[in-house]
A and B are shown apart, each in its own frame.
Chain A
Amino acid sequence: MPFPQALREALMAAFVALMLAIPLIGFRLADTMQGLAIETRFDWVAWGVSAVFVGRLVLGLLRGRGRPLGLAIKMPALPPNASTMFALVLGVFALVLPFTPLGDRYTVELAITVLIYVMLGWGLNIVVGLAGLLDLGYVAFYAVGAYSYALFAINFGWSFWLCLPIAGVLAAMFGVMLGFPVLRLRGDYLAIVTLGFGEMIRVILLNWKEFSGGSAGLTSIPRPSFFGFPFTANPEPGQTAFHELFGLEFSPLQRIIFLYYLIFALALLTNFFTLRMRKLPIGRAWEALREDEIACRALGINPTNVKLSAFALGAMFGGFAGAFFATRQGFISPESFNFIESAVILAIVVLGGMGSQLGVVIAAAFLILIPELLRDFSQYRMIMFGFAMVLIMLWRPQGLVAHREPSIRLGAKA
Chain B
Amino acid sequence: MEYFLQQLINGLTLGAIYGLIAIGYTMVYGIVGMINFAHGEIYMIGAFVSLVAFTILGTFAFASPVLAILIVLIAAIIFTSVYGWTVERIAYRPLRGSFRLAPLISAIGVSIFLQNYVHLLQGAKMKPLQPIVTGGFVMTGDGSFPVRITYLQIGIIVATVVLMAGFTLLIHKTKLGRAQRACEQDRKMAALLGVNVDRTISITFVMGAALAAVAGLIFTLYYGAVDFFIGFLAGLKAFTAAVLGGIGSLPGAMLGGLLIGLIEAFWSAHFPIAYKDVAVFGILVVVLIFRPTGLLGRPDVEKV
Contacts and interface: CB of A to CB of B under 8 A. Distances in A.
Interface stretch (A220-228, A321-329, A339-347): A339-347
Nearest 5 A/B pairs, CB to CB = A389-B109, A386-B113, A386-B112, A196-B281, A397-B98
B149 interface: no
A134 B103 CA distance: 13
Contacts of A250: none
A235 B115 CA distance: 48
B120 A200 contact: no
Interface string B39-79: 00000010011011101101100000000000000010011
Contacts of A196: 236, 240, 280-281, 284-285
A394 B95 contact: yes
27 contacts: A19-B78, A24-B48, A24-B49, A28-B121, A35-B128, A38-B56, A134-B101, A182-B289, A185-B292, A186-B300, A188-B247, A193-B285, A193-B288, A195-B236, A199-B281, A200-B277, A203-B274, A340-B112, A343-B112, A350-B101, A351-B105, A354-B101, A385-B109, A386-B115, A390-B113, A393-B103, A394-B91
Contacts, number: 186
A72 interface: no
Contacts of B94: 394
A189 interface: yes
A379 interface: yes
Interface of B: 29, 35, 45, 48-49, 51-53, 55-56, 58-59, 75, 78-79, 82-83, 85-86, 90-91, 94-95, 98-106, 108-118, 120-123, 125, 127-130, 232, 236, 239-240, 243, 247, 272, 274-275, 277-278, 280-282, 284-285, 288-289, 292-293, 300, 302, 304
Nearest to A340: B112
Contact of A207 (B45, B240, B274): B274
Is chain B's binding surface mostly helix, strand, loop or mixed?
A: helix
Is chain A's binding surface mostly helix, strand, loop or mixed?
A: helix
Nearest to A214: B274
B274 A24 contact: no
A389 B108 CA distance: 8
B281 A197 contact: yes
B240 A192 contact: yes
A22 B82 CA distance: 11
A31 interface: yes
Nearest to B277: A203
A16 interface: yes
A89 B110 CA distance: 35
A20 B130 contact: no
A368 to B, nearest CB: 15
Contacts of B274: 203, 206-207
Contacts of A343: 108, 112
B91 A390 contact: yes
Contact of A204 (B100, B102, B104, B278): B278
Contacts of A27: 52, 55-56
A56 to B, nearest CB: 12
Interface string A334-373: 0000011001001100110010000000000000000000
Contacts of B111: 386
A294 interface: yes
Nearest to A184: B292
Interface residues of A, number: 62
A268 interface: no
Given A35-B130, A186-B300, A387 B109 contact: yes
A2 B217 CA distance: 43
Given A346-B108, A394-B91, A36 B128 contact: yes
A49 to B, nearest CB: 13
A240 interface: no
Given A23-B79, A182-B285, A189 B130 contact: no
A77 B94 CA distance: 26
Contact of B285 (A181, A347, A351): A181
B49 A23 contact: yes
Contacts of A38: 52, 55-56, 59
Nearest to B293: A186
A386 B243 contact: no
A385 B239 CA distance: 24
Contacts of B289: 181-182
A192 B113 contact: no
Contacts of B243: 189, 192
B52 A23 contact: yes
A36 B275 CA distance: 33
Contacts of B272: 207
A61 interface: no
Nearest to B247: A188
